[in-house]
Amino acid sequence: MHSKFANSFNRFIIVRIIMNAKNNNIIVKNKNAARNYHLTDKYQAGIVLEGWEVKGLRDGKVDVKDSYVTLKNNEAWVIGLKIDPPASLMHESIDPTRSRKLLLNKKEINTEFILHILQGKDKSILVPKVKNNKEMSHILLQDNTALKLSNYGIPEPISGIEILPSKIDVVFVPLLAYDVKGNRLGYGKGFYDRFLDKCNPKALLIGISLFEPELEIPNKKTDIPLNFCVTPTKIHTF
């Protein structure tokens, strides 16, 4: 589950909530956001939800008009987002407007140092290249490989020898956040979800993060979890 919110003179407003970022499946829009506020910077984040809240969103039982995002202890929280529980839970002590944590786009780690180490150990390095704005190909990095910035601001090869995903032994996976079971939250485009689905099931999937894991990130049964995640203080094994 993803939310999109924007900064309006240091007040963060929920703009819309998306069930599936890959298909841009919009659950609800804040129709007053652009009308009542001058929106400057825009952000995308995952929302940490309980099971009944996911069902409530899928059923469209959500109201964003009084919601906003605030920062507490370097974490982002959405306040005032109302999600009504299903009828079966109406008698339970549930707060439909409870504060919910957002999983922000944390700064992605520069992996150039890792690349140089692996090259020094005579390993074959592959560099991803986006094609058709939907899929990734993986190009063998050689001494004469020319790189240019993609539309996403990431260096990628102009051309080269493409290697099939099934031939790859280790994948360093970019992520926004991950949980104690190895589930990860990506950047919302679905490139790595589609790519990992084609990889050898025995390939090692390694996340790299500056942060410790979340307790739980909503995931689907078809999502492929990490094998490891490396942080500055620990290597997490899943």
Parallel, antiparallel, or unpaired for β 2-8 and 100-103? unpaired
Whether domain 2-103 has CATH 2.40.280.10: the reply is yes
Whole-number pLDDT of residue 1? 46
What is the mean predicted confidence (pLDDT) over 17-25?
55
Residue 148 DSSP code: E
Its CATH architecture, for the domain 112-237, is: 3-Layer(aba) Sandwich (3.40)
Domain ranges in the chain are 2-103, 112-237
Parallel, antiparallel, or unpaired for β 75-79 and 42-47? unpaired
Tell me the per-residue pLDDT of 64-78, one tens digit each, with 9 for 90 and over: 888 888 766 656 788
As a whole number, the mean pLDDT across the chain is 78
Task: Give SS3 for 201.
Answer: coil
Whole-number pLDDT of residue 115? 78
In whole angstroms, how far apart are CA 136 and each of 67, 78, 133, 147, 202? 36, 33, 8, 15, 20
Band (pLDDT 50/70/90 cuts) for residue 230 is: very high
Whole-number pLDDT of residue 185? 80
Q: Higher pLDDT residue, 96 or 86?
A: 96
Q: How far is CA 27 from the centre of its chain?
A: 18
